[in-house]
Structure 1
């Protein structure tokens, strides 16, 4: 088998079928022609029905007029009582005359017993006709040669009695005859309708293709299928809005990350039950990148792209990804970085101390070396013991020691209060306590770091285990928080450093989220001591997440 044939065999049947798909113009033309044919069939059926009714009505009048004329003929009234079947009489001339003048199909005369005695159709002689009960009647009847419109009029004698009846019939044309009569008109209608349908189909196809960016129906169908598959497969959330702020589409991940019920297409963003911060980001119309938003216990990063057409905005698409796990890793890395910075600072300090020890050894002052080393050891032990004696949880103790060392590099003192006491924590609770302690201490250190060196650059830290709860209390004598901002400081995106997307304004929001997830909360207050006004953040976490 040749290479070309082998490749052809490998092409899926569906792909070959797609190549043979008809264009939109062809499909519309076929549809228009089908519609035209269906309309013409209906018109033909209606035309035949109308022509049948019209034929019966008009030809019935003509037949009735001819029958009345024959029944009123004096010769017929005189000769009919004595007429006998199959015996010629003067009546034959009368019926032939009526048939010739009126142009009807047949003319017959029946005697008083309703038996045909004379007729232009010899085969009808001797047959019976329906009794008319003395009334003139017109209708459609079956004859030996087919259907006919027949009129029957009673013939009155000189004394006023009924002596017979005049029967006049006009042959009813068959369906094929009527179709052949209407064929020229129907062909003209078909030709005109086909031309109009073809031109309309081409114009409509061009208009539709302009609106669909030149894509054929099969391509649009494939595009929709691919879009649905993409929306289901994307790990990132995608949500699109039109110019009025209504949902156009939403990916599978978007429903899960935003906790929005399915079937939200067409709803306004205000009807989705989102918090104010998220609504603001989705409807702001700005394209600022990597905007951070807290949704439940998730930290999401949002990016918005505006969709424009002919110079005007017709909607927007927002993508977002979950940064919660990354945030946890960043916090762990922050602890590691803090510890590394502290160790780096200690290295410089140890270098100086080693140089001092080396100089003392060179001078032969061995007793001084021993005393110097013992003093350093005791100092380090006292710093670690001051923390570990109060905090048994290793992770929390390590974080506090690292924060104390890092703050010291910025000439800020972090004092662990004497009433601090904390046992070993369950691992998940330990991570949450580290999140709360780290963010509250960092905020306090940043606040007092802005003060001059002559002011009180001290942060007080208290960590207490209260049964199944943990209380974290952080105090600083920095600029403080204005009373009107005491709730706003816990709002995501709000910061004394200004609102931005670089991570400011989320530390305290994460603290509140963590505390409330643990069934507790965080608050801010002030008190005066030692002549200074202290800002106090108090956070409470319970052992076990809230329901």
Structure 2
């Protein structure tokens, strides 16, 4: 990608970071080196000052110094002694003078007998002091100490000094070490910056700042515009969890639709534990296709793919599509289809019965033909009349009649209890009611088929505050633990709603704040209780806030 005609590709963020780090580290190292040099020079001056004070005080206490000053050093012994001290210790001059400040010793013999250039006021007051002064040998750091005779009378002074040139030469001799330390610091910083930039380059895929900004803007726009829920799970954090109890899985991305479908917080980070248990399993299950998952009140179609780069798995992308409405429509379609199949079967049976009746009439058995026709008609019509009278919901009547015919075709005796009656379904929508009852009956029929004499019994009734649905069958039955596992929010790879029946029922029960339990009667029984309303302050039953579709 080029930023414009005739211009090269912009530097990647990693390369920019490398250059900036090198510049910053180099400047810091140079500044640190300069400060270190200045500090070393100041320390060298301080050390020289302390050294010449010690030498001056020590030399001033030599007895021959006071004696030589008083005698005027006629034989030059004091000059010889001063030069021995100067050369052995490594200072540039040791000058001895009397109270008249005339030099008695000096490294340059021509200066002997000439006045001392410097100050002696503090020494006359009995204090050893240092000063930086330009004398006959050039600028120097010198110390001046008073000299006392045996009677403790001040007889003269000793000045010991080191020239600036000498100090600088010693300092320059140590500069290679200082420069080597600075160079080593720059080199280590450069190597560190290189590895940091290399790692950063892998993390940013070698993109420059403009590309990263564009990528983020497009990423953010896509996340907010797509109609599917999208989750991105960080597999690195999940892997670390196996090795560290304190490490927590992380959801890197959760778009608006995913938050809505899973009832997650609208803003802020999403805790991994907030996901349904079956979706958490997708962190280690990749390449899932069109898998149905049931959450509280929703049926989701789920796909997951691994995110891979350079042969490494970086995470998992999970997409969610809402199939709740479609699943409900499929439930109604099943009911209608069952009812149509029942009508088709009844039409087939009616044709058979009609042929039988006609044959019986042709054979002259008129009375038996009439009895046969009226018995069959009475049996079927009695069930229809009873249900349409007791149950005020036509869709539920059609469902029960359809399931009854379907069970009969499968060789299962389906009985609708005599006390079945339902006056109102204002709390529960028709679609949810059909889904609830239809799935309970389907599961009962599937369970009953495992017995030698299969049967199913359905009862629907209500009292003042509760609708009760009881579905019993001749199957092996379920314990409370088995029911809990069967109703847990789970997934199914089947293309229809079967395999999700009890999970769908449990979702509806939770939606309407009801209860679901199993009981052992003559066979196995599942009981659902749905509140028809809640009692308000005036004692009147009011609709539940979660009512309706």
What TM bracket, shorter-length normalisation? 0.5 to 0.7
For 2:481 and 2:43, locate their aligned partners in 1 and report how far apart those are by CA, in whole Å: 84
* Equivalences for residues 37-48 of structure 1 within 5 A: 37-48=30-41
Is the alpha carbon distance of 1:178 and 1:375 closer, same or farther for their aligned partners in structure 2, counting shifts above 3 Å?
A: same
For 2:210 and 2:167, locate their aligned partners in 1 and report how far apart those are by CA, in whole Å: 48
Q: Does residue 239 of structure 1 match 2:238? A: no
Identify the residue that residue 535 of structure 1 maps to in structure 2: 524
- TM-score for the superposition, normalised by structure 2: 0.67
CA contact (8 A) 1:302 1:318 kept: no
CA contact (8 A) 1:282 1:318 kept: no
Q: 5+ unaligned residues in a row in structure 2: which ranges?
A: 105-110, 243-247, 360-371, 534-543
CA contact (8 A) 1:70 1:76 kept: no
CA distances 1:91-133 after superposition (whole Å, capped 9, x unpaired): 999789958984646847463xxx7466969786796511465
For 2:506 and 2:85, locate their aligned partners in 1 and report how far apart those are by CA, in whole Å: 111
CA contact (8 A) 2:396 2:433 kept: yes
Identify the residue that residue 417 of structure 2 maps to in structure 1: 417
Identify the residue that residue 390 of structure 2 maps to in structure 1: 390
* Equivalences for residues 399-410 of structure 1 within 5 A: 399-410=399-410
SS in 1 for 2:250: strand
CA deviation after TM superposition for structure 1 residue 72, in Å: 0.9
For 2:204 and 2:332, locate their aligned partners in 1 and report how far apart those are by CA, in whole Å: 50
Query: Pick from 136, 139, 142: which aligns with 1:150?
Result: 142
For 1:460 and 1:196, locate their aligned partners in 2 and report how far apart those are by CA, in whole Å: 83
Q: Does residue 512 of structure 1 match 2:506? A: yes
Is the alpha carbon distance of 1:525 and 1:151 closer, same or farther for their aligned partners in structure 2, counting shifts above 3 Å?
A: closer
Aligned residues: 493
For 1:197 and 1:387, locate their aligned partners in 2 and report how far apart those are by CA, in whole Å: 87
CA contact (8 A) 1:494 1:506 kept: no
CA deviation after TM superposition for structure 1 residue 403, in Å: 2.7
CA contact (8 A) 1:493 1:501 kept: no
Identify the residue that residue 463 of structure 1 maps to in structure 2: 460
* Equivalences for residues 155-174 of structure 1 within 5 A: 155-157=147-149, 159-172=151-164
* Equivalences for residues 114-153 of structure 1 within 5 A: 116=101, 129-131=121-123, 133-134=125-126, 137-140=128-131, 148-153=140-145
SS in 1 for 2:440: helix
For 2:62 and 2:211, locate their aligned partners in 1 and report how far apart those are by CA, in whole Å: 75
Query: Pick from 471, 476, 499: which aligns with 1:474?
Result: 471
Identify the residue that residue 369 of structure 1 maps to in structure 2: none
Identify the residue that residue 85 of structure 1 maps to in structure 2: none
For 1:47 and 1:519, locate their aligned partners in 2 and report how far apart those are by CA, in whole Å: 81
For 1:509 and 1:192, locate their aligned partners in 2 and report how far apart those are by CA, in whole Å: 68
CA deviation after TM superposition for structure 1 residue 73, in Å: 5.4
Identify the residue that residue 248 of structure 1 maps to in structure 2: 250
* Greater alpha carbon shift after TM alignment, 499-508 vs 462-471: 499-508
CA contact (8 A) 1:155 1:166 kept: yes
Q: Does residue 72 of structure 1 match 2:72? A: no
Q: Does residue 33 of structure 1 match 2:26? A: yes
Q: Does residue 438 of structure 1 match 2:430? A: no
For 2:397 and 2:174, locate their aligned partners in 1 and report how far apart those are by CA, in whole Å: 103
For 1:283 and 1:21, locate their aligned partners in 2 and report how far apart those are by CA, in whole Å: 30
CA distances 1:318-345 after superposition (whole Å, capped 9, x unpaired): 6262543443233233333334434554
* Equivalences for residues 142-291 of structure 1 within 5 A: 148-157=140-149, 159-172=151-164, 183=175, 186-187=178-179, 190=182, 194=186, 198=190, 202=194, 204=195, 208=199, 212=203, 215=206, 225=216, 229=220, 233=224, 235-241=229-235, 242-243=238-239, 244=241, 246-252=248-254, 272=273, 278=278, 281=281, 289=289
For 2:119 and 2:175, locate their aligned partners in 1 and report how far apart those are by CA, in whole Å: 38
CA contact (8 A) 1:76 1:91 kept: no
CA distances 1:372-412 after superposition (whole Å, capped 9, x unpaired): 99999999865543321111123323332333344344344
For 1:315 and 1:442, locate their aligned partners in 2 and report how far apart those are by CA, in whole Å: 43
For 2:441 and 2:501, locate their aligned partners in 1 and report how far apart those are by CA, in whole Å: 10
Is the alpha carbon distance of 1:499 and 1:95 closer, same or farther for their aligned partners in structure 2, counting shifts above 3 Å?
A: closer
Is the alpha carbon distance of 1:404 and 1:175 closer, same or farther for their aligned partners in structure 2, counting shifts above 3 Å?
A: farther
CA contact (8 A) 2:67 2:149 kept: no
Q: CA RMSD in A?
A: 5.6
CA deviation after TM superposition for structure 1 residue 278, in Å: 3.5
